[in-house]
Amino acid sequence: MRLHKNLCFATVDGLLLIFNEGHYADKVVQQLLKRDKRWGSRDRGFVAETTYDIVRWKRLYAEIAEVKEPFNRDEIWRMFAVWATLKGITLPDWKYFENTPTRKIKGRFDELSKTRKIKESFPDWMDALAEKELGEKIWSKEATALNQQADVVLRVNTLKTTKEKLKEELFDLDIETEEVPKHVNALKLVERANVFTTDMFQKGHFEVQDGSSQLVAEYLEVEPGMRVVDTCAGAGGKTLHLASIMENKGQIIALDIYANKLKELKRRAKRAGAHNIEPRHIDSTKVIKKLYDQADRVLIDAPCSGLGVLRRNPDAKWKMQPEFIEKIKETQAEILNSYSRMVKSGGKLVYATCSILPSENQEQVAKFLASDNGKEFSLVKDKKILSHQSGFDGFYMALLERK
């Protein structure tokens, strides 16, 4: 691989914003990709992937380069040189790479790789917490998996097309996909491609949604005609899936505390041809209480640490604080306690997170089941998905039934 100056400059500019100014990596990459219209898909891929790689392995690269935060531009170039050296890329004779100690970099990599939290680049607290909750063996494998680049997975919108038809249409655009065992409506891209510009996306024939996330709506056992409440609907990833399983029949009430997310949900629902979704902004507890005992099915896709989705959101490793996880666990418990009351007698509830921590998952459910409101429920089944076992995001889902 040959390095191109303008692409490397863009990457370094982006990293300065992410590391020093606290900007979100996905937003920064989005902006960077608009920088030069002449860039082709390879150039864009280089900027995006290199930026994400250096964010992912910030700790390791910084220790090898012997630089400390806040990084100045020269120090980011040193980390860049470490990235390139470890990738086996020959460094060009630019001034930024003068005196790069290639052999020392390799030696330090071997030495530092003996310590997991440095090798896999996790903050001390996060590594210790995950090890405590998952055990050393599992966490070591999961930490490696969470540093891999995630595949692009599509969810076929069966309100508009079929998996076979979409596969063919994408193939005609040179986008090859493959089916995913046990994921009924999923197609995985064989090679990365920008699918958002395709006609099929604009017409709502598919959404980009990870394989694990696609299992959540199915877990709720919804049927056409039911009354379903999606209590933490956000921009509607799972809501749209519920609508397609329900064939647009029945009612889905989509709740969230952020009105702007529901606005985005409305836009996506229109594109997907999902007509049975009613977004309701939670602006007071009345919105919740009105729904008590009303729903056949309730989905709680709870706010969480997001430790299962670090593959696509690596800067969360550096932005998150342990206090946030403690606080979010309190919110999860409150939400479970209150929103479970929307389930009718005989109805079902799914509690899901994109976390791998038992304390946000099975332990929350166990605590709920032992509480006053929880005593009315029984656990039907649950599923713990780890990235190193599934190849998809880390997720948890539990199906409960109200007696």
Cα separation, 151 vs 140, whole angstroms:
21
The reply on whether position 261 binds ligand SAM by CB under 6 A is yes
Least distance from ligand SAM to the Cβ atom of residue 257, Å: 5
Residue closer to ligand SAM by CB (options 109, 206) is 206
Least distance from ligand SAM to the Cβ atom of residue 306, Å: 8
304 is catalytic: no
Smallest Cα–Cα separation from 45: which of 10, 85, 80?
10
Supply the Cα-derived Rg of the chain in whole angstroms.
Answer: 23
The reply on whether position 211 binds ligand SAM by CB under 6 A is no
The reply on whether position 232 binds ligand SAM by CB under 6 A is yes
CA 158 and chain centroid, separation = 23
Residue closer to ligand SAM by CB (options 54, 254) is 254
Candidates 11, 51, 177, 231; binder of ligand SAM (CB under 6 A) is 231
Residue 283 annotated in ligand binding? yes
Residue 243 CB burial class (10 angstroms; 0-12, 13-18, ≥19): buried
Find out whether the peptide bond into 358 is cis, omega within 30 degrees of 0.
Answer: no
Candidates 14, 204, 211, 234; binder of ligand SAM (CB under 6 A) is 234
Smallest Cα–Cα separation from 60: which of 117, 13, 14?
117
Q: How far lies 296's CA from each of 299, 302, 352, in Å?
A: 10, 19, 17
Which distant-in-sequence residues (6+ apart) come within 8 Å of 73 by Cβ? Answer: 12, 16
Residue closer to ligand SAM by CB (options 83, 351) is 351
Per CB under 6 A, the segment of 61-69, 108-116, 165-173, 249-257 that binds ligand SAM is: 249-257
Q: Are 153 and 188 in contact (CB under 8 A)?
A: yes
The reply on whether position 94 binds ligand SAM by CB under 6 A is no
**x/- map, 143-182, ligand SAM, by CB under 6 A:** ----------------------------------------
Per CB under 6 A, the segment of 39-47, 101-109, 232-240, 358-366 that binds ligand SAM is: 232-240
Least distance from ligand SAM to the Cβ atom of residue 21, Å: 24
Smallest Cα–Cα separation from 271: which of 342, 338, 196?
196
Strand 153-156 versus strand 206-208 pairing type: antiparallel
372: phi then psi, degrees, rounded to nearest 5? -60, -50
Cα separation, 52 vs 45, whole angstroms:
11
Residue closer to ligand SAM by CB (options 236, 374) is 236
Per CB under 6 A, the segment of 20-28, 102-110, 252-260, 360-368 that binds ligand SAM is: 252-260
Q: Which of residues 15-54 bind ligand SAM (CB under 6 A)?
A: none
Residue 74 annotated in ligand binding? no
Q: Are 169 and 175 in contact (CB under 8 A)?
A: no
Q: How many residues bind ligand SAM (CB under 6 A)?
A: 18
Least distance from ligand SAM to the Cβ atom of residue 91, Å: 42
Least distance from ligand SAM to the Cβ atom of residue 233, Å: 5
Q: Is the dihedral of CA 92, 96, 100, 102 positive or negative?
A: negative
Cα separation, 81 vs 104, whole angstroms:
12
Classified as helix, coil or strand, 272 is helix
Torsion of CA 285, 241, 345, 383, to 10 degrees: -100
From the list 8, 232, 304, 354, the catalytic residue is 354
Q: At what angle do helices 237-245 and 259-272 cross, to 10 degrees?
A: 40
Residue closer to ligand SAM by CB (options 208, 257) is 257
The reply on whether position 367 binds ligand SAM by CB under 6 A is no
Least distance from ligand SAM to the Cβ atom of residue 138, Å: 23
Candidates 54, 335, 386, 399; binder of ligand SAM (CB under 6 A) is 335
Residues in contact with ligand SAM by the rule CB under 6 A: 231-238, 255-258, 261, 282, 301, 303, 331, 335
Question: So which residues are the catalytic ones?
Answer: 354
Annotated binding residues for S-adenosyl-L-methionine, written as ranges, equal: 256, 283, 301
